[in-house]
Structure 1
């Protein structure tokens, strides 16, 4: 049975050309087919479409999260279809329509198992039942122990083309993004090799100085993992990894916009410092996102979540390193607008088209245009997600919205 198209009307639609007030959008077979400035109903065709009254809400491109470990109690490293499906459903309820399942540093066999599961889960023909799993972000094990943060130091190791190839095979070629510390031995060879495979290389958990960051860009690196976190900080006589991230224009920077990982007043400066398209808002969320405060596990490391902040658990009960976040993408958007004072239309690309461009998915995703995937999120003025659509199918609806 062919699935009905959707007709969303009475919406403020954000397109690449700007807002369309009281707009209407139609999709069929998973693709956006028509966008107009008024409701569209044609006799004989209207019954082919599910009618959705947006009630004046904002219709935005679906969010694309390039760095997400879990959420809603689910964890990508647990390597089951139920875990992946659960985290995809959870994040869809918060506006995410595409994501990269992100690994953690672990033993070789544990990473292989996680990659195999994710690789098998990625099927373009699968009917959406949550956010679309676009691929894998390999974060670890090629990281610097000096900047490991919440990555298990016992399992860190030097980069190896042989191990990367084992990971690549296990993932069925689904690794889209890899975090690596460029100062490690053999990092140059692995970076160049990964880039030849079509993998976006991101510099992170690194103690690199500015010169090494410059070299890494020459080797093909084009991104920085969670700016300011897990890296050598900026110094006026040695810009370090953080300075390199800001100074080197080819590098796009991930930012965890929760007001904890990066000071709120720095957010506007980051948008000013980086060229257009080079700021990527991510969650770095772990399994506790959306759950009650308490104790959880990140990889093999015990963590504690309190007031939405996730830290490594210390024996003396003090707070250790930050251990991912409990952030969602809709919260990242709301925070960025509040922290910077910028217009929502100027922030949205950092959650949509810019990450799509970064991983080569912009032909199908990231903007609301005819011919692109109908990945959409309907949001009210209070930044509450009302509905989420993935390839033209509603995968989330707020119960209040349906009443």
Structure 2
């Protein structure tokens, strides 16, 4: 069945950066954008105070171009569909922006490391079905030839819009904090190798994780920042001073905070303290209950509340610096078994991924829907803050918050409908239901 050109979602709980508002929105499948956001006349629930005027809200919450009956169901006007329009009554379900995952390696038995289109499509489709409408493709440490082949192939998929870009998590990482990366393939930062990889990426190499204490690392961070590539600090044994030097050089993200980095100590805070106290920095969290305990995640949210990278509210509003990530690998959606992450053998038992020798956690098996739901139910974060961390904050870190990350008119019609238990009910990508 062909989907109508225009879809109006009514009677929804819209999750916005400032709170939750009853209302609806209209999307146009022809251009894949949100065209209109409307609110009910009266706010409902705590934290609903979103300033009208930030969005085009016609009088009394009606769309200006819709024919509306004055019969009402509570405070919600009943609209008659126009020709070519479908009206969907969501009966009070939540609508959140489509999730944005800036750190993910695969799913459904597939890994981005292969660079194969069929593998990438399988991983993307699994994450999309679980609400992630914008995804990066993460590569772990490999030989230069392997990385060059993968970056070149994934750049084609990014150009086609399947993925948002490529994240090199390595190979310039500290051997002492290598985690699930092959220590035999780690190397010191090589600016010429990075230049070659960036050229193969044709503008789609968007992010690189570097250990700033390595020789030449700060120069590479500067090169990345100058080229518009997001530099992240991770897999590092750096002191707080060295980490701050990386941020001064242009790094703007802390890769999976706490994991694979020097731990926080009261006399030497290391990268954890340097990242949490720098308002320029977005901090990633793998909120799966394995990598980070709920009380530690709660501490991170509290420490970064109201501090937006770059200062000010940023595109689309919002005030946090936490970006939820999955760090998902091929086992996601597949159940327990034996898998690989790059060249490393991984064993998954009870949903927990470990290197086969048990020496390190090896990514996760969660989706962003899992990370989001845990943020609300286990960490105790307000739903609007969890949605921000799963959508707007990573979009801002990647420089794409003008297009995705919040329910604003003019942005991509990427959204997730959640039931009362915060389970994914429906997903829309570019104005079309998946």
- Structure-2-length-normalised TM-score: 0.85
Q: For the Cα contact (< 8 Å) 1:27–1:33, is it kept in 2?
A: yes
Partner of 1:18: 19
Partner of 1:283: 326
Match of 1:27 in 2: 28
Q: Which piece of structure 1 moves more, 236-245 or 253-262?
A: 236-245
Q: CA deviation at 1:188?
A: 1.2
Matching residue of 2:345 = 302
Shift in CA distance, 48/266, structure 1 to aligned 2, threshold 3 Å: same
Question: Does the alignment pair 1:205 with 2:235?
Answer: yes
Q: 2:266 aligns with which of 231, 236, 246?
A: 236
Which has more radius of gyration?
2
Pair 1:394 & 2:433 matched: yes
- CA change 1:209–1:17 in 2 (3 A) is closer
> Is residue 2:207 matched to residue 1:177?
yes
- Following superposition, the deviation at residue 261 of structure 1 comes to 0.4
Aligned to 1:47, the other structure's residue is in SS state coil
Structure 1 stretch displaced more, 104-113 or 16-25: 16-25
After superposition, the C-alpha distances for 1:248-272 in whole angstroms (9 at most, x for unaligned) are: 3322110000111011111111011
Q: Find the counterpart in structure 2 of residue 374 from structure 1.
A: 413
Q: Which runs of 5+ in 1 are unaligned?
A: 127-131, 396-403
2:5–2:28 Cα contact (<8 Å) kept: no
Task: Describe the shift of the 1:161–1:394 C-alpha distance in structure 2 as closer, same or farther (beyond 3 A).
Answer: same
What residue number does 2:156 align with? 120
Structure 2 counterpart of 1:269: 299
Question: Number of aligned pairs?
Answer: 385
The secondary structure found in structure 2 opposite 1:110 is helix
Which shows bigger deviation, 31-40 or 345-354? 31-40
3-state SS of the aligned residue for 1:92?
Answer: helix
Q: In the aligned structure 1, how far is the partner of 2:145 from the partner of 2:159?
A: 23
Q: Does the 8 A contact of 1:10 with 1:24 survive in 2?
A: no
Cα distance in 1 for partners of 2:350, 2:244 equals: 38
Note if contact 1:95-1:329 (Cα within 8 Å) is conserved in structure 2. Answer: yes
What are the within-5 Å matches in structure 2 for residues 61-140 of structure 1? 61-123=97-159, 132-140=162-170
* Structure 2 segments unaligned to the other structure (5+ residues): 41-61, 68-78, 308-318
Shift of 1:381: 1.5
Aligned counterparts of 1:181 and 1:64: Cα–Cα separation in 2: 24
Q: How far off is 1:306 after superposition?
A: 0.8
Distance 1:89 1:308 in 2: 20
Residue 372 of structure 1: SS of its match in structure 2? coil
- Which of 401, 407, 411 lines up with 1:362 in the alignment? 401
Between 16-25 and 224-233, the greater mean CA deviation after superposition: 16-25
Query: Is 1:154 the counterpart of 2:156 in the alignment?
Result: no
User: Is 1:336 the counterpart of 2:338 in the alignment?
Assistant: no
Q: Which of 95, 106, 128 matches 1:59?
A: 95
Contact 2:346 2:355 in 1 (8 A): yes
CA apart distance, 1:388: 1.0
Maintained 8 Å contact 2:17/2:385: no
Q: CA RMSD in A?
A: 1.9
- Name the SS for the 2:421 alignment partner: coil
1:45 Cα deviation from its structure 2 partner = 6.4
- Quote the residue 2:313 is aligned against: none
Cα shift readout 1:224-260 (whole Å, capped 9, x = no counterpart): 0001101011111111122222233322110000111
**Aligned counterpart, 2:311:** none
1:27–1:34 Cα contact (<8 Å) kept: no
